[in-house]
Structure 1
Amino acid sequence: MSTLTSQQEDLVVFARYPELGKVKTRLAAGVGPERALQVYRELLAHTQAVTKQLPVRKWLWLAEAGLGADRSDPWVGYQRLPQPAGDLGHRMQSAFAHAFAEGATAAVIIGTDCPGLTTEHLQEAYAALRTHDLVLGPATDGGYYLLGMKQVWPVLFQNKQWSTASVRADTLADAQRLGLQVRLLPELQDVDTADDLAAWQVTQKAES
């Protein structure tokens, strides 16, 4: 008699509370801190909207916030945790390890920088993890907007030049050396700089 294995799919979101001068600093260098904060609020709202209906357990890992942070964002249905110290790789590895320690059989991590992300992309990621070891959503800047896995492979988070164009290629090279089956999602654009914002605005006008 066969038994069904229960699946626990988790979503991890890395975010910050909105705070003038503390969010989207690379974007703020080109458009000013007030506009960068406005864009960040739009990106937060978008991320909340596309994840709202997902039938998964949700974790919100928050960066340290200052006294001026707006802590009223409606992250309904999320369990909140503080991001640990360390570089992005260490923080992501810690978040994945926590999810699996809490019983997850598959986990996906995203940030709040990708206005092109849809609920369907996330659903595709979870579906891919039923037949693949790793799923990656490539960003146009050479990084990735999504990473999903069924167990932690520490090497994927080590020896990376985070926030540079080499991250995706280095991650995929590590995955190949590990012999992992990888599924790539459609390439999307993050909004990190003034040029990214301008490109996003062009896309918005084209779609309206």
Structure 2
Amino acid sequence: MNNKALIIFTRNPELGKVKTRLAKTIGDEKTLEIYKELLLHTRNETQHIDCDKFLFYDTTIVENDIWSTEYFNKVLQAPGDLGNKMQAAFDSLFQKEYNHCVVVGSDLFDLKASIIENAFKALQNNDAVVGPAEDGGYYLLGLNQSTPAVFNNKEWGTATVFNATMNDLKNVKVQLLETLNDIDTFEDLERSGYNINFKEQLL
């Protein structure tokens, strides 16, 4: 068994249920199209990383989708807020005796396999690794053991999350990765350089 586990959190790609802040600007259909491209990008970047990979769906496990069971173990997210979901995911894999666990979302065109590989390398000599997001959150978190504090008492989806998380990790050795832009709003999408014609949608 590989001692490294990658956790990928994803939302089931359903119209009107993904990236609602982005959808307020460009509409549900364009937003779903973009989210599906984000999922495809995430799959392509993670599929061949040397680790065991666990895809956590938010509502329903889908057997025949872009995530092949040849590469991805399919799991359902636990109930509760994002912190509860992530803690349950990490704890389930530490209980399976993985030594290094990393979680990423599925909303970054900037995500690269090399970034995740560097996170696993960092966990060889650090207690935790964090990839800050431009919006004040984080796009990646890696741990070597269950650390409940980082998942509790957070205002998820706000600019306070990264700083609050770093405060929880102040007594352990932490490696920071490069800051990336995750896609939550139209402004995020513009900064990403994503090439799409919004003119018709916005008129």
TM-score (norm 1): 0.89
Partner of 1:40: 35
Question: CA 1:71–1:195 in structure 2 vs 1: closer, same or farther (change >3 Å)?
Answer: farther
Distance (whole Å) between structure 1 residues aligned to residue 114 and residue 175 of structure 2 = 15
Please point out which of 88, 110, 116 is paired with 1:122.
Answer: 116
> 1:56, CA displacement in angstroms?
0.5
Q: How do 1:53-202 and structure 2 match up within 5 A?
A: 53-65=48-60, 72-76=64-68, 77-176=71-170, 179-201=171-193
- Mark the runs of 5 or more structure 1 residues left unpaired by the alignment: 1-5
Partner of 1:18: 13
Instruction: Find the residue that maps to 2:13 and give its secondary structure.
Output: coil
Q: Is the 8 A contact 2:2 2:52 kept in 1?
A: no
1:16 is matched by which residue type in structure 2? R
Deviations 1:132-180 (A, max 9, x none): 000000000000000000001101111100000000000001110xx11
> 1:7, CA displacement in angstroms?
5.9
Please identify runs of 4+ aligned residues in structure 1 that moved more than 2 A.
69-73
1:183 is matched by which residue type in structure 2? Q
Give aligned pairs, total.
194
Distance (whole Å) between structure 1 residues aligned to residue 64 and residue 139 of structure 2 = 25
> 1:72, CA displacement in angstroms?
3.8
Q: Is the 8 A contact 1:18 1:70 kept in 2?
A: no
Identity across the alignment (%):
40
Q: Is the 8 A contact 1:110 1:146 kept in 2?
A: yes
Distance (whole Å) between structure 2 residues aligned to residue 32 and residue 74 of structure 1 = 24
Q: Is the 8 A contact 2:15 2:28 kept in 1?
A: yes
Which piece of structure 1 moves more, 77-86 or 120-129? 77-86
